[in-house]
Amino acid sequence: MLINSLIELDRAHLVHPVSSYRNHETSGVRVLRSAKGATLTDASGHQLLDGFAGLWCVNAGYGQDSIVEAATRQLRELPYATGYFGLGSEPAIRLAARLAELAPGDLNHVYFTLGGSDAIDSTIRFIRYYHHAEGLPQKDQFISVEQGYHGSSTAGSGLTALPAFHVGFGVPYNWQHKIPSHYAYRNPVGSHPQAIIDASVAALRAKIAELGADRIAAFYIEPIQGSGGVLVPPPSWLKSMHAVCKENDILFVADEVITGFGRVGPFFACEEDDVVPDFMTTAKGLTSGYVPMGAVFMSDRVYDTIADGAGKMAIGHGYTYSAHPVSAAVGLACLDLYENGLLENGRKAGRRLMEGLRSLADHPLVGDVRGRGMLAAIELVTDKHRKTPLPAQADPARRIFDRAWDNGLVIRAFAQGVLGYAPPLCCTNDDIDGIIERTRMTLDQTLEDPDIR
Ligand code: PMP
């Protein structure tokens, strides 16, 4: 089909996620046609390095034959099996067992979803059920962190703390509360790690005192905040927040939808702080985006309490596509790749990425460079000393994204002038160097833009 007809059909019929519908109608869709490794090709033949792995999800990279073969085999053999009525499929069972083996501590029970938003939504339901089962139904207040992202489901979007997900949607609900982020670059207490940890601990304690520990169900964190602009907490931040929750009998939920499956080095980011959460949510890298799937991990204690609470009654939570066998087969193929060198390659490439981004720190527009492993960001400012953000009225995110695109690079350009990086873990040295080089070119052009300076 001719590209212009596709653009017209898209404009007329396809509603795009998280976008201004009117702006999109004006600018039109960019159609992607194929991909291999870390390189995308659009419908006009333009080649681009994918510095964002789709939507921080294609951890294994594009065109992995073993994943395609696993999916094809499963589609032929058994394309669907419900988990209802006590039924199941081999790939789903094997994937759950392997994940339990890989997960920290006693996170031995896995509930499969279709993605991250319904994984978060599932935790909200499980957590309420858990506290009911404990005989503490008054524990129904939820806390999360400013700049956090926990999906866009009806309930989860209220744990998310980004204005576009709230305005006009009637969230957050009155049982959803926030504490400030650790955001080191713009933290009022400064950037010293211990000062940041102390401030976060104090904020959580104050919120607990305000609401009453006996009313608080759970606390949600991302080990590194992703959609809020890749905000990396200091080492031990997670551990300190976990300790406060433990002391107060508050369930601790680690949302590893982005940070899981080697994105920041180990299989799961929690491992780095030696934290075993009560729940862990994952998606994205689980199937590397080849097919949709998410997974909620729960600890032995949580699982047993829910199971005992229900006794012989059915626990009414489930989807037609929970534990989908094709997704599970893809998940198994991804784990094979991760375990056979891909995570190791990601760690190596991550070091090169961080080094490359740090080499941009002296660019006049770069105020901050941050990240861990293959998850990073640079924050742009017009005045480094004052940390002045780029002028919002010039729509810098759109301009920078477009410029990078023309330079053959896909990055995430956040509205506040933060550029996000999450390349596939399969990146070669040349891929990483290309990402850095094209970023530098994009920054130099942005510096020349009279509307931005
Ligand atoms: N949690 C986090 C931390 C995420 O980054 C995302 C997606 N970016 C989600 C939840 C929601 O996942 P999904 O888009 O698959 O619904």
Q: What average pLDDT score do residues 394-406 get?
A: 96
Report CA(149)–ligand 1 centroid distance (Å). 7
Report CA(151)–ligand 1 centroid distance (Å). 5
Query: From CA 157, how far away is CA 170, in angstroms rounded?
Result: 10
Would the pLDDT of 450 be above 80?
yes
Would the pLDDT of 1 be above 80?
no
Q: What average pLDDT score do residues 104-111 get?
A: 98
Residue intervals in the chain for CATH 3.90.1150.10? 3-63+341-447
Between 116-133 and 300-310, two packed helices, what is the crossing angle to 10 degrees?
A: 60
Pairing assessment for the beta strands 109-113 and 141-145 based on DSSP bridges: unpaired
Ligand 1 atom at minimal distance to the Cα of residue 120: 10
Report CA(113)–ligand 1 centroid distance (Å). 12
Cβ-based neighbours of 224, under 8 Å, separated by 6 or more:
230, 231, 232, 233, 258, 259, 264, 269, 372, 375
What interface predicted TM-score (ipTM) does this complex get?
Answer: 0.99
| Residue to substitute in 284, 291, 297 for testing ligand 1 pocket (most ligand atoms within 8 angstroms of CB) | 284
Report CA(116)–ligand 1 centroid distance (Å). 4
Pairing assessment for the beta strands 39-42 and 32-36 based on DSSP bridges: antiparallel
Q: What is the pLDDT of residues 251-289, one digit of tens each?
A: 999 999 999 999 999 999 999 999 999 999 999 999 999
Ligand 1 atom at minimal distance to the Cα of residue 256: 3
Could you tell me the pTM of the whole model? 0.98
The pLDDT score that the predictor gives to residue 422 is: 99
Q: What average pLDDT score do residues 378-389 get?
A: 97
Three-state DSSP class for residue 112? strand
Report CA(1)–ligand 1 centroid distance (Å). 32
The pLDDT score that the predictor gives to residue 21 is: 97
The pLDDT score that the predictor gives to residue 453 is: 74
Query: Counting Cβ atoms within 10 Å, is residue 330 exposed (0-12), middle (13-18) or buried (19+)?
Result: buried
Would the pLDDT of 160 be above 80?
yes
The pLDDT score that the predictor gives to residue 82 is: 97
Residues of the chain with pLDDT > 70, as a percent, come to 100
Q: What average pLDDT score do residues 28-56 get?
A: 98
Ligand 1 atom at minimal distance to the Cα of residue 226: 5
Ligand 1 atom at minimal distance to the Cα of residue 57: 8
Would the pLDDT of 136 be above 80?
yes
Give which of 50, 10, 13 is closest to 30, Cα–Cα.
10
Query: From CA 64, how far away is CA 290, in angstroms rounded?
Result: 10
Residues of the chain with pLDDT > 90, as a percent, come to 99
Query: pLDDT-based confidence at 228, cuts 50/70/90?
Result: very high
Residue intervals in the chain for CATH 3.40.640.10? 81-323
Lowest average pLDDT, out of 279-283, 332-336, 395-399, goes to 395-399
Three-state DSSP class for residue 267? coil
Q: Which helix (H) or strand (E) holds 442?
A: helix 429-447
Query: From CA 141, how far away is CA 241, in angstroms rounded?
Result: 17
Q: What is the pLDDT of residues 350-372, one digit of tens each?
A: 999 999 999 999 999 999 999 99
Query: From CA 133, how far away is CA 137, in angstroms rounded?
Result: 8
Q: What is the pLDDT of residues 192-216, one digit of tens each?
A: 999 999 999 999 999 999 999 999 9
Between 429-447 and 396-406, two packed helices, what is the crossing angle to 10 degrees?
A: 130
Mean pLDDT of the chain: 98
Report CA(376)–ligand 1 centroid distance (Å). 17
Would the pLDDT of 343 be above 90?
yes
CATH (residue range 81-323): 3.40.640.10
Report CA(326)–ligand 1 centroid distance (Å). 21
Are the C-beta atoms of residues 240 and 201 closer than 8 Å to each other? yes
CATH 3.40.710.10 fits 3-63+341-447, yes or no: no
Ligand 1 atom at minimal distance to the Cα of residue 116: 12
| Residue to substitute in 112, 149, 225, 375 for testing ligand 1 pocket (most ligand atoms within 8 angstroms of CB) | 149
The pLDDT score that the predictor gives to residue 113 is: 98
Query: From CA 47, how far away is CA 375, in angstroms rounded?
Result: 22
Give the chain's count of helices (H) and strands (E). Answer: 14, 16
Query: pLDDT-based confidence at 291, cuts 50/70/90?
Result: very high
Query: From CA 127, how far away is CA 186, in angstroms rounded?
Result: 33
Query: pLDDT-based confidence at 383, cuts 50/70/90?
Result: very high
Q: What is the pLDDT of residues 55-107, one digit of tens each?
A: 999 999 999 999 999 999 999 999 999 999 999 999 999 999 999 999 999 99
Pocket around ligand 1 at a 6 A CB cut-off = 115-117, 120, 149-151, 222, 226-227, 255, 257-258, 283
Backbone torsions φ then ψ of 76, nearest 5 degrees: -70, -40
Report CA(311)–ligand 1 centroid distance (Å). 32
Question: Both ends of the chain: CA-CA distance in Å?
Answer: 41
As a whole number of Å, the CA-based R_g of the chain is 22
Query: pLDDT-based confidence at 320, cuts 50/70/90?
Result: very high
